Amino acid sequence: MGAAGIPIPEKGTIDALIHAFAVESAGAMNWTVERSKETAAPMLTASILREAPSARNVGEAEVYRLIVSCDSATQAGEMQLAWSPVAQSGTLAASVDGATAAQYRVEGSEKMGNGSGVVLHGLAALTLAEGKHGVSRTGFPFPSESLTISDLFPGETVTFSFANLPKDARQEFGACFPDADTSNR
């Protein structure tokens, strides 16, 4: 709001927008599973949100979203971590089911998609795992119980539970991630 010289809307419009965001985000801390309606290229996407109190800014939170996708036609899958409110550079640690953490380098830049030409130094998303035709291309295992992310923001740790990922979604992800535990938990 207010970007590119567009006037800020009336208070009632802002309140309605905030209410719409709150309604839409209800349940975001639980897995949201969506299946595309296309029969030629069915896509399964599951996402979950976590917040952590900011270690730098008291009263604020860092937001982490984990997005897992699988194209059953091509058996191409991806597990992506996205975060806000600021782009980051450096490293993060990702631990699957309590195992030793893998280190990921977070570097690069992103161009804002709003046409402003602004370039952010640092990233706001990172691919943790990719799979194709049932073969993991990254060596990052599909979590059975949990994925823990630490040190993206200094002193912060968040855990995504995979124990409550719906059974049918877990089974479908097995097509793209060969190490996904597809048992009926």
Q: What is the pTM of this model?
A: 0.76
Give, as one character, the DSSP assignment of residue 118. Answer: -
Paired with 95 in beta bridges are 148
pLDDT value at position 13?
A: 79
pLDDT band at residue 32, thresholds of 50, 70 and 90?
very high
Instruction: Rank 15-19, 157-161, 180-184 by mean pLDDT and report only the highest.
Output: 157-161
- Contact of 147 with 92, CB cutoff 8 Å: no
What is d(CA 112, CA 115) in angstroms, rounded to the nearest whole number?
7
Give, as one character, the DSSP assignment of residue 170. Answer: H
For residue 39, give Cα distances in angstroms to 33, 60, 89, 128.
Answer: 17, 43, 40, 28
Over residues 75-102, the mean pLDDT reads 88
Helices (H), 4-122: 11-25
Closest CA to 99 of 141, 161, 42, 160: 141
Helices (H), the chain: 11-25, 167-173
Paired with 109 in beta bridges are 121
pLDDT value at position 45?
A: 96
What is d(CA 6, CA 4) in angstroms, rounded to the nearest whole number?
6
The pLDDT of residue 102 is above 60: yes
pLDDT band at residue 116, thresholds of 50, 70 and 90?
low
**pLDDT per residue as tens digits for the range 130-181:** 877 555 556 778 899 999 999 988 888 999 999 999 999 999 998 888 777 7
pLDDT value at position 22?
A: 57
pLDDT band at residue 25, thresholds of 50, 70 and 90?
low
In this predicted structure, which of 32-46, 92-106, 140-154, 162-176 has the lowest mean pLDDT?
Answer: 32-46
Over residues 28-32, the mean pLDDT reads 82
pLDDT value at position 96?
A: 94
pLDDT value at position 184?
A: 47
